[in-house]
Amino acid sequence: MASFTTGMSSHTRKVQTLYKKAVRSLENWYDRRDVFRYQAVLMRERFDQNKDVKDMRIAKDLIMKGEQELFEKQHWHPKKFPESPGGVAYGREVIPPDWVMDYWHPIEKAQYPEYFARREQRKQEYIKLWEKTHGKPTTTGHH
C-alpha cells in the first residue's frame, strides 16, 4: 500500500524516529556487538526515563534537545545499507516493468502458454475492477 507524508506526524512517531536514528548512530560508532548492545541499552534507558512526560511543551523540548544531541554526535562516515539510497548496490539491479512482457514475440510467449493465459486473464480482471471502481473511460475528442 502506497502512502505519502503530509509533513505532520504525531509525537509518538517523532519519538520513535528519534530513537531509531539514535540507535543507528550508535551502530556507526561501535563495531563490536557487545559494546554496541551496552550503549543501546543505555540509550533505551534514557528514552524510558521520559516516557511518562504528559506536558507536551516539555515533551517537545525533549525531542528538540534529542535531535540536537543526535546532530552533534553523528558519525562522520555513517554506514549505509547496500541497497538503500547512497549504498554501493543502490539501483544496481533493474527490475523490468510488467508491460515489457506485452512486447514479447508470440514464439517467446508460446514457450510459457499457462503463464501467458493466466496473465491475460488477470489483465482482464484488472480492467473490470478498474471500470467498476472508476468507471469506463470517456472519449472527449482530445488526442
pLDDT digits (tens, 9 = 90+) for 98-136: 999 999 999 999 999 999 999 999 999 999 999 999 988
6, part of any domain? no
Domain that includes residue 124, residue range = 98-134
88, part of any domain? no
| pLDDT, tens digit (0-9, with 9 covering 90-100), for 51-107 | 999 999 999 999 999 999 999 999 999 999 999 998 999 989 888 999 999 999 999
17 and 62 part of one domain: yes
Tell me, what's the pLDDT at 143? 58
Tell me, what's the pLDDT at 1? 45
16 and 68 part of one domain: yes
Residue 94 to residue 102: CA distance in whole angstroms: 18
Among the three residues 24, 54, 72, which one is the final residue of a domain in this structure? 72
Domain count, the chain: 2
Nearest to 104 by CA among 94, 112, 114, 92: 112
Nearest to 10 by CA among 59, 47, 58: 59
Tell me, what's the pLDDT at 3? 53
In degrees, to the nearest 5, what angle opens at C-alpha 60 toward C-alphas 57 and 61?
A: 85
pTM of the model: 0.61
19 and 67 part of one domain: yes
Q: Is the pLDDT of residue 138 over 60?
A: yes
67 and 23 part of one domain: yes
